[in-house]
Structure 1
């Protein structure tokens, strides 16, 4: 890889703060670089980290830290403690992180807090001799479902297109007009609905929105229970598309939460998807 990139061995060593002989040892095989050095190596060689150093399975806490190029001793400063003990304990699976450390660590690692907590559960599972098993993921209790039309449209755009560019106002307007069979809304009109400048829309517009996003038109009606069901589904789909859901358990949901039969269907679907493409996040 280094030769393909036409980079001298000494330049690699200089860029990552290592001796020339150290880099030579890595290339010849007698030694391997610290996991914390891999991001710098990928950067110097102008390759994607996952491409140059592929990982089997999802990351645990140690993986996230190393992917950020941080040594454990550096974590004391990140979480504001005298030692890296809390991080070391969590990485070993001895004890979970205190809530006050989560935000700072997620920011330092460049991941979401949910991603950090999922990695923590994988570290715990490894410590309990369950390495290689995918822990049951928990969909947290939902916040209040979206109530206004603007909140509902924003939620769909945020949750339905993880890692992708959500459709523009022009595209949505064109789809609504095509569904209606006439010009019923402009791109500016969609923007006004999305931002809350306009609080209501004609039934034909709401039907077009539902058809475009593949949702029931009831989602746009002022009925909290229906909105909550769609909201839960969108949150689940967003997590599933990012490969973060192996099984689903509803916790803290009241009678408006996902019914048991729906959870069963979704778990069966997740299992089938995993069998069909276990190594992808599609």
Structure 2
């Protein structure tokens, strides 16, 4: 299963913006009109390795049109490079794709000699490929609480992208939804769809206060995070806490309730909840005790 979110409604809306027919979208992706109709009606999803071609045909960045859920494993890297599994054998000098298939399924790791050519074919570093392989085998790195200062988002657009890619268990709001929420909150048109895309692409950096406040409402977060001097050092930990809280709210995380007893939550549950609250309070703009 691809780690990228596919939305037929989002594809349909973007195709119509470009005034393309379903057949015109399908041609460069090598599928027929009926296949595109099924995608847009959420009756089927395209093969994950076709998502880059769909994004290109719709003139949209892959990460914007199909946001990623979590970090990529080996299959995700291959699909992001636009390759079916059957096509990758020649990249590693093998007669078939079986070595890659086994690695993707967590059966047998890639030979050392395969790492560099496969990374080059996928357009990633050797280290990124090895990290993805670890994920295919169920091995994840321990997250750090503090982010590297050089990697922190600085502009409003970078912050929007960070939150959309990292902050949601449920589907993230679309660019259209973000613009609509900003304008509804302001009672006037302050941000167009093209304006949201310009922000996310870094083409616009001057953002009025009213727009920043609307962005906070659209992304369900304190508007202070969009201030130029906001402290984002603790944001990764706070985002993890927010996603856990979403899981509780949506019924996706039930383990804590199961560990409780008739007298109340277990000691472990209380400790976990307290850790969540502490992380949430580190969010820029959060108020002590609430």
TM interval, short-chain normalised: 0.3 to 0.5
What is the TM-score with the length of structure 2 in the denominator? 0.46
Larger Rg: 1 or 2?
1
What is the TM-score with the length of structure 1 in the denominator? 0.48
